Copies of this chain bind each other. A is one copy, B any other.
Amino acid sequence: MSTATYTVKGMTCGHCVNAVTEEITKIDGVTNVDIDLASGLVTIASERDLGADEVREAVDEAGYEVVS
């Protein structure tokens, strides 16, 4: 089990949170995604260590940007 935290820019509402959650959940091995809309903090639990690139791509696919 692994947990990683990213900050995502541009999410403004629950729909945005859903879109990001949906794309990140598609990454192989992801078991849970928790997003705090106000702070943009995205916490990802996974069965393996995820590459930052994988996460960045998924967030990009949803239409948002990982800033850290």
Contact = CB atoms under 8 A, between A and B. Distances in A.
Interface of A, secondary structure class, is: helix
Nearest to A19: B15
Interface in A1-21: 12-16, 18-19
Contacts of A15: 13, 15-16, 18-19
With most chain B CB atoms within 10 A of its CB, the pick from A14, A15, A16, A18 is A15
Task: Classify chain A's interface size.
Answer: under 10
Nearest to A63: B14
A65 to B, nearest CB: 14
A32 to B, nearest CB: 22
A19 B18 CA distance: 13
